[in-house]
């Protein structure tokens, strides 16, 4: 399941194959931006005749760790020597590490599960890949649900990656996938893998560029890259656009970056005050005129008052400031529509075709 930023929304869906509800509750701290924010996926399912909730992080940053350079104290494969139920949800486990990928664990260690009833059943004699970290308050080692831990037989690809990374003392890996978002006339969203798509990683220190292409399944991986900071882009076809960003490559490290391609419609221009001067550091928004607030994108003006909003599909748009704020709020009362009016009925809409660019629009701040 994949989650994408949505304004002021709680997204709910039913998974038909299991007839269970999956709820994604978004706690938006940076509404109207394309930046990562805090959120949580809460899955309600049945276990041993009762309903349980299984929670995990719902949104990701631009790059997510997928290797040894993580916030876990220990990463290893090992055996379960002892397992005891200590509450309705949790177990205490005695583990014996075998193949160690990160940290220096003792020959035997005790861990406690976190949301243990959401994990596969763990019994003495089982062989698992374990990702363990200490609780900040209790300092107990915890085996978290959704940590990447699992039975060895089910995580062979992850183990193979970890083995590769241990052999990279001066380099690391950037990998991921490229998908294209497709939305039909009624708003249903699907995602399709994009094969043979070019990606570029540009090293910040000296501008050296590395390239790779997705496979038929939409997955990609750069050749091991020297440690450093890299700017990543999938914007190599004019008609398609995805968020760009940077990630650090560490020795033995791995960064997972997913790109979501959209039709590359662009609206750009200038925000001016009543004296015709640049209005910097202001959020400018666009939203479909047919359903204002249903979705929107935004950008912040630079020191010249310039803004550019990309990745827009063909539609008729409203452009303005605070046009997606909650009705009745102070922001809503100060909303402004292009070209510089308070009343939405007087706003000029912007028609945008497939991968079309509308540039040099001037949004005028009214006199106070």
Contact between 256 and 63 under an 8 Å Cβ cutoff? The reply is yes
Does residue 196 sit in the same domain as residue 226? yes
At residue 163, does pLDDT exceed 60? yes
What's the CATH code of the domain at 159?
2.40.50.120
Q: What pLDDT is attached to residue 185? A: 64
Q: What pLDDT is attached to residue 27? A: 30
Q: How sure is the predictor about 1, in pLDDT bands with cuts at 50, 70 and 90? A: very low
Give residue-wise pLDDT tens across range 100-126.
999 999 999 999 999 999 999 999 999
Whole-number Å distance between alpha carbons of 267 and 38 = 28
Q: What pLDDT is attached to residue 113? A: 96
Does residue 88 sit in the same domain as residue 27? no
Model confidence pTM above 0.85: no
Does residue 357 sit in the same domain as residue 278? yes
**Can you read off the two tokens belonging to residue 333?**
């009362």
Q: What pLDDT is attached to residue 291? A: 84
Segment 248-266 mean pLDDT: 93
Which of 210, 230, 263 finishes a domain? 263
Q: What pLDDT is attached to residue 46? A: 77
What's the CATH code of the domain at 357?
2.60.40.1120
Instruction: Compute the C-alpha angle 48/52/56, nearest 5°.
Output: 130
Segment 32-46 mean pLDDT: 58
Residue/partner pairs of 205-211 with CB below 8 Å, 24 or more apart: 205/229
Which of 164, 195, 211 finishes a domain? 164
Q: How sure is the predictor about 59, in pLDDT bands with cuts at 50, 70 and 90? A: low
Q: Give the closest residue to 305 by CA, choosing from 364, 345, 247.
A: 364
**Can you read off the two tokens belonging to residue 355?**
């991968």
Q: What pLDDT is attached to residue 37? A: 39
Does residue 306 sit in the same domain as residue 355? yes
What domain range includes position 256?
A: 172-263
At residue 183, does pLDDT exceed 80? no
Prior bond of 239 cis (ω within 30°): no
At residue 25, does pLDDT exceed 50? no
Q: Give the closest residue to 173 by CA, choosing from 316, 93, 299, 68.
A: 68
Q: How sure is the predictor about 128, in pLDDT bands with cuts at 50, 70 and 90? A: very high
Mean pLDDT score of the chain, rounded to an integer?
86
Q: Is residue 242 part of a domain?
A: yes
At residue 150, does pLDDT exceed 50? yes
Say which DSSP state 347 is in: P
| Residue whose entry in the numeric block shows the structure tokens 């409203």 | 318
Give residue-wise pLDDT tens across range 272-318.
998 889 999 999 999 999 888 778 899 999 999 999 999 898 899 99
Does residue 254 sit in the same domain as residue 342? no
Q: How sure is the predictor about 50, in pLDDT bands with cuts at 50, 70 and 90? A: confident
The tally of domains found in the chain comes to: 4
């Amino acid at each position: 399941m994949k989650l994408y930023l949505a304004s002021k929304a709680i997204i709910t869906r039913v998974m038909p194959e299991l007839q269970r509800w999956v709820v994604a509750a978004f706690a938006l701290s940076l509404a109207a931006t394309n930046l990562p924010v805090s959120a949580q996926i809460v899955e309600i399912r049945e276990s041993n005749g009762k309903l349980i909730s299984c929670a995990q992080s719902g949104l990701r940053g631009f790059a997510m760790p997928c290797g040894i350079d993580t916030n876990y104290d220990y990463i290893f494969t090992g055996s379960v020597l002892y397992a005891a139920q200590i509450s309705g949800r949790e177990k205490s486990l005695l583990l014996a590490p075998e193949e160690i990928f990160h940290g220096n664990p003792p020959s035997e260690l005790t861990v406690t599960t976190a949301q243990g009833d959401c994990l596969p059943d763990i019994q003495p004699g089982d062989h698992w890949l374990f990702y363990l970290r200490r609780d900040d308050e209790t300092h107990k080692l915890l085996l978290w649900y959704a940590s990447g831990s699992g039975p060895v037989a089910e995580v062979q690809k992850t183990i193979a990656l970890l083995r590769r990374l241990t052999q990279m003392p001066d380099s690391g890996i950037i990998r991921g996938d490229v998908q294209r978002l497709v939305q039909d006339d009624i708003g249903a969203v699907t995602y399709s893998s994009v094969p043979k798509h070019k990606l570029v990683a540009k090293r910040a220190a000296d501008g050296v560029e590395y390239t790779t292409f997705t496979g038929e399944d939409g997955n990609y991986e750069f050749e091991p890259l020297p440690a450093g900071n890299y700017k990543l882009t999938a914007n190599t076809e004019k008609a398609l656009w995805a968020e760009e960003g940077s990630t650090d490559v560490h020795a033995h490290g791995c960064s997972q970056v997913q790109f979501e391609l959209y039709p590359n419609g662009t609206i750009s221009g200038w925000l001016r005050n009543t004296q015709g001067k640049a209005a910097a550091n202001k959020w400018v928004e666009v939203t479909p005129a047919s359903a204002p607030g249903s979705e929107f994108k935004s950008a912040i003006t630079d020191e010249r008052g310039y803004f550019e909003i990309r990745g827009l599909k063909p539609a008729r748009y409203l452009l303005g400031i605070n046009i997606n704020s909650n009705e009745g709020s102070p922001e809503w009362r100060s909303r402004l529509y292009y070209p510089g009016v308070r009343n939405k009925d007087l706003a000029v809409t912007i028609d945008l075709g497939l991968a079309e660019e509308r540039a040099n629009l001037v949004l005028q701040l009214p006199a106070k």
